[in-house]
Chain A
Amino acid sequence: MTTAPPLDVDALLDDPHTEIIVCCGSGGVGKTTTSAALALRAAERGRKVVVLTIDPARRLAQSMGIEQLDNTPRPVPAVDGAAGGSLDAMMLDMKRTFDEVVESQASPEKARQILDNPFYVALSSSFAGTQEYMAMEKLGQLHRDARQDGTYDLIVVDTPPSRSALDFLDAPERLSSFLDGRFIRLLLAPARGPARLMTAGLSVVTNALTKVLGAQVLRDMQTFVAAFDTLFGGFRQRADQTFALLQADGTAFLVIAAPEPDALREAAYFVDRLTDDDMPLAGLVVNRVSPSARTELSAEAAITAADRLRSSDSSSLTAGLLRLHADRVRIIEREQHLRERFAASHPAVPTAVVPAMAGDVHDLDGLRAIGELLADGG
C-alpha cells in the first residue's frame, strides 16, 4: 500500500514566503469552500489575506459580505484579527475585469470604440477561456497592488470550473499567442491596405471565412482587431507576467479533488501539467472523504449476518444497522483504493484528507471547521 506524505497546511499558510495560493481542480470538488477556508485560517493566524472567488454559493457569499459583484475586495465581517491578520474577499466580474484592462491600456476614445464593438462584447462575456484568463489577470492586478501598498501579504485564488484543466493554465498563453498569431496579421492586412500582402493563400482563407461567418462578422472582427492592435503588445506582456508570477517561488498550487475516479483523474492530470510547466505544486487536498467505520466488522460478515436476520424478520432494525455498516465499509474501501492508486503514480505529492461534513458550509464557523480539518488532514 502506498501512502502519500502529509501536507502541512498550517506551515504553508504561516510561511511568509507564501504569497499566492492557487486552488485548482475539477468542478464540484469544493474548490471555493477550500479557498475560503484556507484564506480565513491564514487571516486568523496573522496573515493579511485577500481571497478571489469565482462563483461562490449564495449563502457563503452572503456570509462573506461579497454578494455585490463590484470587482473590488471587501473586508469580511467577523474575522478574528487578534493575531494581527485580516481578510478581504471579492468575487470575479469577468466582463468588468476585461473592460478595465482595455480602459487602462487605451485612450478613452479608443477604449469606447473597442467596448462598443459587437465582437468585443461577445468575446468579453462568453468566450470560453475569458473567465480563466480574467481570473489570472485579476490575480496579477491584486499582486501588483499588494506589492505597491502592502495591503495584502497573501492572495488565495479559486479557479473557474474549467472544461478541463488545460483551459486555466493555457488561457493566458493561448490568448497571447492568438493575439500574436498569423491570423491577426491576416485580419489586419486589409485594414492596413497594402494589397500585395494579400497573397493567394490569404485570399483563400478570407474567402473561406467570409463564406462561413458572413462578410459582416468578418468586418466586425477586422474593426475590432484594428482598434485593438495597439493593445496587443500590452496584453501579451501581461499574459507573460502572469505566467511568470504563477511559476514564481512565492506561489503555491493546491490541487483539490474528491475521492471519485473522475475528480482524481483530473487531479492527476493537473499535477502532471503543473510539474511539466515548472509550476510550484504544494500538494493535493482530497475533500469529502467518507468518515471511517467505527468498528472492524467486515462488509461481507455484516451482509451475511444481515441476511440471516432478514430471513426471519424482514423489518429487523439490527439487519438495517448491519447493511448500513456494510455500505459504509465498501465506500471507504473504494475511496481508499482510489487514493492509493493516485499516491502510487504520484508518490511525492503531499496530501491532506478532509472528511465529509454532514451539511453544506455557509458561514464563517463552517469555514473555520473546514480549516481545522484541513490542518489536521495532513
Chain B
Amino acid sequence: MRLHVVTGKGGTGKSTVAAALAMALATTGRNVLLCEVEGRQGIARMFDTDPLPYEERRITKGAPDTDGRAGQVHALHIDPESALLEYLSMYYKLGRAGKALDRFGVVDFATTIAPGVRDVLLTGKVYEAVQRPRGGRHKDQITYDAVVLDAPPTGRICQFLGVNSELAGLAKVGPIKTQADKVMELLRSDRTAVHVVTILEEMPVQETHDGIAELRAAGLPVGGIVVNLVRPRDLSAGALAQVRGNRVDPTAVASDLARAKVDVDADLVTSLVDEARDHAVRRQLEDEQRELVAEEGLPTYELPRLAGGIDRGALLELAQLLRRQGMA
C-alpha cells in the first residue's frame, strides 16, 4: 500500500496529473483513493459530478490492463472542519462537547488560526485511509491498494507535509503530538513518494528544482517528476532545423498542399511557415528546460498538452500514458 503525494507549481496541472495517476494505478481490480485537501472541488469538476462530500465515493473506473480489467477510483474531499469533528468523535467520543467547541469558535480556531493544526487534520485523514487495516472494524470501509493525494503547491508542500514536525515541536506532549508523529513516520517512510509536476518553462522548472531540494532536506521521499502540457512534436528535429534556418522550400510546401486538396496561395504557405517558426522558438525553450529537468536525476514522465481540454476521456488517455512510461 503506497501513498503518492502530487505537488507542483500553480498552473502546471497537478490536479489533472493526480487524477490521471489515480486512474493509472486503478487497474486489474485495484482500489485507489484520490484525495483533495484544498477545498476547490477540482475532482468533482474534472469528473463532472456533484460536489464531493466528506465521504469516500466511487468516482470512476480506472485504466484497464491488457486483459481489459480495470479497478476503481474512489474520491474523498477532505475539509478540516469535518476532519476535526471526526477526529474528536473517533478518539474522544465528544458528543455535547463537539457542539460546544463549535459554538465557542474552537473549530474555527483550530482549523484556520491555530498554526499547523489544519494541516495535521488533513494529512491525518489521509494517514487513516493509508493505514486502514484489511477487514477492519467497519465492514463497509474499503481498504485501498494506493492513495493519491492532490497536495498543495510546491511552494507550500514542505510546510504542509512537514508541519507535523513543527506542530510536534509546539506540542511537546499530548495526543495531537502522538498523531503528528505517526503521520510524519509514514510520510518519511519508503511507502510514500512525493511527485512534482512541472511544465517546460523557466519558473516552474526552477521551482521544481528548489522544491525537490527542500523535500530532500526535510527527509521526505521524492518520487518522480511529471512534465505536463508538453507541446505536440509534429516536426522532426530535421524539419525544425529547416524552419529555424529559413530553409523551407515554399514551392514544395505549396505543391504538397495542392496535392492534399487545400486551396493554396502564397499567403497560406508563408503563414504556415511563420507559425512553425513560432513553434520552433518554443520547442527550443522546452528542450532547454527538459535538459534541466533531466539533471535532477529522477524518474521523469511526460504528458502532452491536449488541445481539447480535460475530461474523463482525456484523463484516461493520460493515465495510459503514465502506465506506459512505468509510473504505475
Contacts and interface: CB of A to CB of B under 8 A. Distances in A.
Interface of A: 26-29, 55, 57-58, 118-119, 122-123, 125-129, 161, 163-164, 174-175, 178, 181-183, 186, 201-202, 204-205, 207-209, 211-217, 220, 258, 260-263, 265, 291, 293-295, 297, 301-302, 304-306, 308-309, 315-325, 327-328, 330-331, 334, 358-360, 362
A163 B42 contact: no
B298 interface: no
Given A208-B88, A318-B253, A214 B175 contact: yes
A324 B232 contact: yes
A362 B271 CA distance: 30
Given A204-B97, A318-B257, A295 B10 contact: no
Task: Decide if the interface of chain B is mainly helix, strand, loop or mixed.
Answer: helix
B267 interface: yes
B67 interface: no
7 contacts: A212-B174, A214-B173, A214-B175, A262-B40, A265-B45, A305-B261, A318-B272
B202 interface: yes
B12 A214 contact: no
B287 interface: no
A133 to B, nearest CB: 11
A359 B202 contact: yes
Contacts, number: 229
Nearest to A178: B113
A334 B273 contact: no
Contact of A126 (B11, B163, B201): B163
Contact of A201 (B15, B100, B252): B100
A215 B171 CA distance: 9
Given A27-B10, A205-B101, A327 B175 contact: no
A317 B104 contact: no
Contacts of A320: 234-236, 239, 276
Given A293-B271, A295-B275, 9 more contacts: A127-B113, A163-B39, A208-B101, A212-B87, A305-B262, A306-B260, A318-B252, A318-B257, A359-B202
B323 interface: no
B169 to A, nearest CB: 8
Nearest to A131: B156
Interface string B234-267: 1110010010000010001100110111100001
Contacts of A125: 115
Contacts of B92: 208, 211-212
Residue from B248, B257, B267 whose CB has the most chain A CB atoms within 10 Å: B257
B62 interface: no
A301 B262 contact: yes
A27 B9 contact: yes
Given A178-B105, A263-B11, A360-B201, A217 B88 contact: no
Contact of B275 (A126, A175, A294, A319): A294
B268 interface: yes
Given A126-B166, A331-B307, A325 B275 contact: yes
B309 A261 contact: yes
B116 A316 contact: no
Interface stretch (B27-35, B133-141, B187-195, B278-286): B278-286
A161 to B, nearest CB: 6
B33 to A, nearest CB: 22
Given A317-B242, A321-B272, A321-B276, A163 B38 contact: yes
Contacts of B15: 262
Interface string B285-308: 100000000000000000001011
Interface in B82-97: 87-88, 92, 94, 96-97
A262 B310 CA distance: 11
Contacts of B61: none
B82 to A, nearest CB: 16
Contact of B260 (A213, A309, A358): A309
Contacts of B171: 213-214, 216-217
Contacts of A186: 104
Contacts of A362: 202
Contacts of A302: 262
Contact of A213 (B174, B270, B273): B174
B54 interface: no
B166 A122 contact: yes
A323 B232 contact: yes
A268 to B, nearest CB: 13
B152 interface: yes
Contacts of A127: 113-115
B260 A305 contact: yes
B239 A334 contact: no
B174 A217 contact: yes
Contacts of A29: 10-11
Contacts of A328: 275, 279
Given A126-B116, A178-B108, A204 B96 contact: yes
A123 B268 CA distance: 61
B176 interface: yes
Contact of A317 (B94, B169, B239): B239
B268 A297 contact: yes
A182 B172 contact: no
Contacts of B236: 315, 320
